[in-house]
Amino acid sequence: AVAHPAPAGGRRRLAVLVGAAAAVLIAVLGARYVLDADTPTDKHAILPSSVAVLPFKNLSPSEDDAFFAAGMHEELLGELARIRGVNVIGSTSVQRYAQNAPPLPVIAAELNVGTVLEGSVRYAADRVRISVRLVDGKTGAELWADTYESGLDDAFRVQSEVAQRVSTALEPALGGGTRAASRPTTSAAAYALYLKTLSLYRTHGGIGVSMPVPIRATMKEYLDRALELDPEFAAALGWRAHVNLDALMFGAFDEDEWAVANEAMTRAVETDARRALELDPAQGAAHATLARLDMYRWRLADARATLDRALDVTPNDPSVLHYSAMLDFLRGDPGQAIAAARRALELDPKNPAPHAPLSMALRASGDLRGAIAAYERMIDAAPTAAIGYIGLARTQTATADGALVMETLRFGEQFLEDLRSFRLDAALSYAHAGARADAERLVAEFERRSAGQHVDSSLQAMAALARGDHAAARAAVERALTTRTVGADPLPLAQIRENTWSDPALELPEWRELRERLAYRR
């Protein structure tokens, strides 16, 4: 969800209003479509050998140290995700239980897991005390409980011990499945800065494209300071690569500075990620970042190999599975994309992100009802995120119901904020619905916000398509074909390739030939 700088009471009122409005919208949409029986719902069979790790309660004397509990929770999730055979629910889905959580059996039923782990952290004077207990999801009976106390620099041993106990409790045959406890940094101060970074990222939505620029800058500052204290801190290197790639892909650069910045930042991202993997081959963030960088440079075979290696060492990482789904869509393999996205949602059912590649892949495979349902569930999970509404409207263009498309777009526009490229996406859907004035308005807003900045050729093509200038659009696509290996968001060209806005002009012979050239060649 998008963070709003409103007072607490205002945020609660906003959440209630938005949630109610989203529910009304979804109810209207649901009345018009029969959901595909094969589309995942919130109710599944219980996952075998599964656990939901709830956010740790912060018992530290200072509220300023709440980051430590959040960071320890994230680290433990990462440790458990490395255990093959254990299904670990992702961070996004469990964060909703941080406050006013229902009884543990209710949580287990909502997340389709057999066990729930809850705990607390008390951090003070570089000492940490962690209390944890694992309960049976159906009965609420305690399976085991323990308390650990150590210095901050020994926290890694604690995480590994807890992960080992969880795997042993879930399935005795998995008892030897964890790796030996590692000590990725010898600096307690560096570790604290790293945990602050993780906490900051999660508390501001955990979606790179929507991350506020000042928050991204603060995260990089924390990671830079951590790496000054310990240059061999693998996790910090992997996360700095991740943050820098977000800045490269979603940040704004003056046109005359972009070529130099692109080369320098690409080199920095790759250097950090590869060094992280040299130090710790199981760093999921580093693997995912390298794969994303390969997608950015249209090296899709390299991205596939990188993600396969990541899944080998972190088989339960929903983020890696999400990017696998996106990659398979880019490669023109909707079946594999659907399977990866559904597995990501199985492990992180309340995470909105995997619904986007799932919907696009379902539509590419001919399942329009399933594609619409996927975006409806994305809105349900993140009712203040523009991406869900813009994607839903784009998918609705295939129904030829222009009024419905405009209804969705006008509701979603309130959440656009500074998301430049989504304006063009929405403009194309408005144009398809016959709302040419709205399409022109959004293109003009995009151009005003992007004045003097670098704009990818694919986005220039989208702007021209929204205005109906197909000659300019084809010229922009031709430019994109020759420059996409330099670095660009690959998704807009894939959407043009699939004609996801149902533009009749893109079905003309000259466009069909050009769209065929956009396909990935293995």
**Hey, what amino acid is at 251?**
G
Nearest to 426 by CA among 379, 417, 416, 249: 416
- Distance of alpha carbon 217 from alpha carbon 499, whole angstroms: 36
pLDDT in tens, the chain (522 residues): 333 333 333 333 333 333 433 443 333 333 333 333 343 444 568 888 889 999 989 898 887 777 777 777 877 787 777 777 788 898 888 988 988 889 999 999 999 999 999 989 888 777 888 888 989 999 999 988 888 887 766 666 666 666 666 666 655 433 444 444 456 687 878 888 988 888 788 777 666 666 778 889 999 999 999 999 999 999 999 999 999 999 998 888 999 999 999 999 999 999 999 999 999 888 888 999 999 999 999 999 999 999 999 988 888 788 899 999 999 999 999 999 999 999 999 999 988 889 999 999 999 999 999 999 999 999 998 888 888 999 999 999 999 899 999 999 999 999 887 777 789 999 999 999 999 999 999 999 999 999 999 999 999 999 999 999 999 999 999 999 999 999 999 999 999 999 999 999 999 999 999 999 999 986
- Distance of alpha carbon 346 from alpha carbon 328, whole angstroms: 18
> What phi and psi, each to the nearest 5 degrees, are found at residue 124?
-165, 140
Q: How far is CA 446 from CA 33, 154, 246, 347, in A?
A: 33, 50, 20, 36
Is the distance from CB of 68 to CB of 104 less than 8 angstroms? no
Is the distance from CB of 285 to CB of 253 less than 8 angstroms? no
Lookup: tokens for 370: 């399933």
| DSSP conformation letters of 71-94 | HHHHHHHHHHHTSTT-EE--HHHH
Q: How much is the pLDDT for 160?
A: 62
Q: How far is CA 214 from CA 93, 200, 228, in A?
A: 25, 11, 21
Q: For the stretch 413-422, what's the b/e string if a residue is b when 16 or more beta carbons lie within 10 angstroms of its beta carbon? A: bebbeebbbb
Is the distance from CB of 343 to CB of 89 less than 8 angstroms? no
Q: How much is the pLDDT for 163?
A: 63
In the beta sheet, which residues pair with residue 148?
130
